[in-house]
Amino acid sequence: MEQAVGPLSTHSGPYFGEFGGRFVPEALVAALDELETAFHKALADPSFGAELARLHRTYTGRPSPLTEVPRFAAHVGEHVRVFLKREDLNHTGSHKINNVLGQALLVKRMGKKRVIAETGAGQHGVATATAAALLDLECTVYMGEEDTRRQALNVARMRLLGAEVIPVTIGSRTLKDAINEALRDWVANVDTTHYLLGTVTGPHPFPEMVRDFHKIIGEEARAQLLAETGRLPDAVLACVGGGSNAMGIFNAFLDEPSVRLFGFEAGGRGITPGDHAARFSGGVPGVLQGTRSYLLQDEDGQTIPSHSVSAGLDYPSVGPEHAWLHDIGRAQYRPVSDEQAMEAFSLLCRTEGIIPAIESAHALAGAILLGAEASTWAVEHGQEPILLVNLSGRGDKDVATAAAWFGLVDDAAATPTEGEQL
Amino acid sequence: MTGPVVRSQTADRLDGLGRAALVGYLPVGYPDVPTSVEAVRALIDNGADVVELGMPYTDPLMDGPVIQHAVDAALRGGVRVRDTLRAVEQVAGRGAPILVMTYWNLVLRYGVEAFARDLAAAGGAGLITPDLIPDEAGVWIDASDEHGLDRVFLVAPSSTPERLVSTAAACRGFVYAASTMGVTGERATLGSGAERLVADTRAAGAAHVCVGLGVSRPDQAAQVATYADGVIVGSALVRAVTEGVQDGTGLDALARTTAALADGVRSAVRPGVGSRS
């Protein structure tokens, strides 16, 4: 199963070390083979790359800016510089659009007419609904019922864009269950339908393909940071649910040993099973939804429900390439609690005027947690350490959650009393 | 595929019938563990020739709503993997090979070799693995050879001729032909795809091919029994149990449904295979 490693940044599936693979019903194998062939043909075809680049430039708004955030950095540590890669400024408000446009162009090439997707926080669902509208594809989005409640605004956005949103009412009613429903739909409709999977997990070739559509994040950030500072960052930080934004930014730095890579996963309310989604600190390798990776599971192998204040991070497994990077020691994965994430969320709002997605706030909290550690890195090269944080999405969708968390909604003031005219 | 010659409990049973088999699926622990064991006994006593015993799993992505609901209830009721092994022990030896239907992570977590050992010790015939294709099954192929267990992989209408050959070669017991693209559940019509898939799978080298997904009525079972070595029924049996859960008549309903399906299977005339028995 082991492959020759070569440069880490070009490593291909189906296996990443002992992780990855294709643990799927036989009915899907032909479609996965078709997808793999179409993807590799597209990569070799300059017209595909040109069309995707055109869409990124004229539709997504790439390159996304790199923003230095000194007032936030002052809370991280003395003499630490922090730069944010602004994926929040992409059309649809997150990095998800990078992958969605790539896969949607592939769908057109494969001659399929319909896409299905799963979504947790709604960012991937909104991006998929957007690309479907743009490229005239029928679109169905599965979303756990619990998440449709937490992310009602995104449900409305998807419906405005013409997508059918189906709340999933079985199991934990979150992202994992939405993926099961999408897989069931795909098995039944694979002739006409593409499963536009939203992160770097699932069966081969999804982890490799989704990473390749997101690696533009790291490539841009690397060039922008070099232009701005003349050197590479000391550390790259990203939040990790399935892990697509993290893999996208890590990729450009995987073969630079001087660059430390940190993934921050949802530590939730604490270490009790069911209270977090920290797969690396609380999980063991197993198989879920087509791939072998770290997995929150009980002693029987049943998936343990996970929790995070962020609907986008409460997935019980993680992309197989992350599992591999963890095991070979190339990247470090640490948990961030709900509370730490929300403090960082608030801090970025107040110091820089940027409302981040709660997912991304986990990476910001990670920067604060690294603080003192980062300050010591300065000794290594006699310069201020540079942290590059991927701001994977913006917080519009999370305003209701944040307002409730911080007690910003005054119910009495919002509800007129009897006879009162506002 | 070369390897040790392992005798197959299930293939022996299919060969001994001289007609198509009724393969009945029920999950362990639904509505509770003791009743589910009674239900399997009722299944065998009313004409099931082979049993497919489901291990409840939190993420049963090949199953439709009837089975999803049942395994969800079983898990909420506290069913454990070891309950399946105990159930196998309690129903083995009644004339119907007991194949465990399981999603792969449950076996992986238990330990593939340990699970094979304990399943064989309990009298089980082997495993049906809906989310494990032979390409990923090296460890299980070795363990099943070591412990003399059947291994049933699936083929689907989308399987290429090459995959039919490799999957047929990897299977022992029978090849599970998915009648349609989709998940488990009752369907009004099966179409002609299933018959073609069975013929193609036989041509690819399979000695025995059973058909599942969508078969729920005696007339459908009779139709499938004319061309397949076995007719696999799940959701219709689980639904019978479900309908009787409230008033305690689930086992009666299950017995009636099983007997009707068994009659359907037995009524089939199989052109050209009469000389086999």
pLDDT of the residue at A6: 75
**A187 closest CB neighbour out of B58, B105, B182:** B182
Q: Average pLDDT in the B172-188 region?
A: 88
Nearest-by-CA chain B residue for A177: B59
Q: Which residues of B225-237 are buried (b: 16+ CB within 10 A; e: fewer)?
A: bebbbbbbbbbbb
A421 against B94, higher pLDDT? B94
Q: What is the DSSP string of B16-84?
A: HHSSPEEEEEEETTSS-HHHHHHHHHHHHHTT-SEEEEE---S--TT--HHHHHHHHHHHHTT--HHHH
Non-local (6+) Cβ contacts of B205 within 8 A are: B165, B168, B169
Q: What's the average model confidence in pLDDT over A187-204?
A: 95
Q: Poorest-confidence range of A1-10, A139-148, A209-218, A338-347? A: A1-10
Which of B60, B64, B156 is facing A27, going by the closest CB pair? B156
Query: Which residue numbers of A have CB closer than 8 Å to B's CBs?
Result: 21-31, 170-171, 176-177, 180, 183-184, 187-191, 286-290, 295, 297, 299-303
**Predicted local confidence at residue B103, as pLDDT:** 98
Q: Is A351 helix (H, G, I), strand (E, B) or coil?
A: helix
pLDDT at B181: 83
Residue B109 pLDDT level (bands cut at 50, 70, 90): very high
Report the residue of chain A nearest B158, measured CA to CA: A27
Are B154 and A30 within 8 A, CB to CB? no
Q: How far is CA A132 from CA A161, B122, B142, in A?
A: 8, 52, 45
Q: Are A201 and A317 in contact (CB under 8 A)?
A: yes
Q: Give counts: helices (H), strands (E), chain A.
A: 16, 14
Measure A404 CA to nearest chain B CA, in Å. 31
Contact A84, A110 (CB under 8 A): no
Which chain A residue has the Cα nearest residue B183? A184
Q: Which of A15, A26, A183 to mutate to test the interface with B (most CBs of B within 10 A)?
A: A26
**pLDDT value, residue A361:** 98
What's residue A382's pLDDT? Answer: 78
Measure the CA–CA gap between A323 and A287, rounded to whole angstroms.
Answer: 12
Is A176 in contact with B59 (Cβ distance < 8 A)? Answer: yes
Identify the CATH number of the domain defined by range B14-267.
Answer: 3.20.20.70
The whole-number pLDDT of residue A311 equals: 82
Minimal Cβ distance to A187: which of B132, B155, B181: B181
pLDDT in tens, A91-122: 999 999 999 999 999 999 999 999 999 998 89
The pLDDT of residue A115: 98
Q: Looking at chain B from residue 63 to 92, which residues have their Cβ under 8 Å from any Cβ of chain A?
A: 64-65, 68-69, 72, 75, 80-81
d(CA A283, nearest CA chain B) in Å: 12
| Distance from the B229 Cα atom to the nearest Cα atom in chain A, whole angstroms | 20
Interface check B102 vs A, CB under 8 A: no
**Neighbour order of strands in the sheet with A15-16:** A15-16, A19-23, A290-295, A284-288
CB contact under 8 A, B106 and A176: no
Mean pLDDT of chain A: 93
Task: Answer for the pair B38, B90: CB distance below 8 angstroms, yes or no.
Answer: no
The predicted structure's pLDDT at residue A151: 86
Residues of B recognised as catalytic: 52, 63
Which segment of A3-12, A196-205, A311-320, B132-141 scores lowest on mean pLDDT? A3-12
Q: Return the residue of A nearest to B156 by Cα.
A: A27
Place of tokens 């291909």: A12
Query: pLDDT by residue (tens digit) across B69-87?
Result: 999 999 999 999 999 999 9
Least confident piece of the model among A37-41, A66-70, A81-85, B181-185 = B181-185
| Predicted confidence (pLDDT) at residue A419 exceeds the cutoff of 60 | no
Mean pLDDT of B49-62: 96
Q: Which are the contacts of B251, defined by CB distance < 8 A and separation ≥ 6? A: B35, B38, B39, B42, B241, B244
Predicted pLDDT at B2: 52
pTM of the model: 0.94
Model pLDDT for residues A240-286, shown as the tens digit of each residue:
999 999 999 999 999 999 999 999 999 999 988 899 999 999 999 99
ipTM confidence score: 0.94
Q: What is the mean pLDDT of residues A370-397?
A: 88
d(CA A64, CA B80): 50
Asked whether B153 and B99 are in contact (CB, 8 A), the reply is no
In chain B, where the domains are located:
14-267
d(CA A187, CA A180): 11
Q: What is the mean pLDDT of residues A208-230?
A: 98
pLDDT of residue A110: 95
pLDDT above 80 (res B60): yes
Closest CA to B267 of B69, B14, B47: B47
pLDDT band at residue A1 using 50, 70 and 90 as cut-offs? very low
- DSSP conformation class of A346: H
Tokens for B195, please give them: 């018959």
pLDDT band at B163 (very low <50, low <70, confident <90, very high): very high
- Strands of A282-421 (E only): list them: 284-288, 290-295, 331-337, 386-391
Sheet with B126-128, edge to edge strand ranges: B150-152, B126-128, B98-101, B50-54, B21-27, B230-233, B209-212, B175-178, B154-155
Q: Which residue has the higher pLDDT, A418 or B162?
A: B162
How far does the CA of residue A13 sit from the closest CA of chain B (Å)? 14
pLDDT at A420: 42
Nearest to A118 by CA among A139, A90, A103, A95: A139
Q: Which of B61, B107, B156 is opposite residue A26, by nearest beta carbon? A: B156
What is residue A421's predicted lDDT score, i.e. its pLDDT?
42
A interface test, pick of B28, B55, B59, B81 with most A CB neighbours within 10 Å:
B59
Angle, in degrees to the nearest 10, between helices A152-160 and A123-134: 10
Handedness of CA A74, A75, A78, A84 (dihedral sign): negative
The average pLDDT across A360-371 equals 97
Q: Which residues of A are catalytic?
A: 96, 118, 392
Q: What mean pLDDT do residues B208-232 have? A: 95
Q: Which of A178, A182, A183 is nearest to A144 (CA)?
A: A178
Per-residue model confidence as pLDDT tens digits over A55-103: 999 999 999 999 999 999 999 998 899 999 999 999 999 999 999 999 9
Average pLDDT over residues A153-181: 92
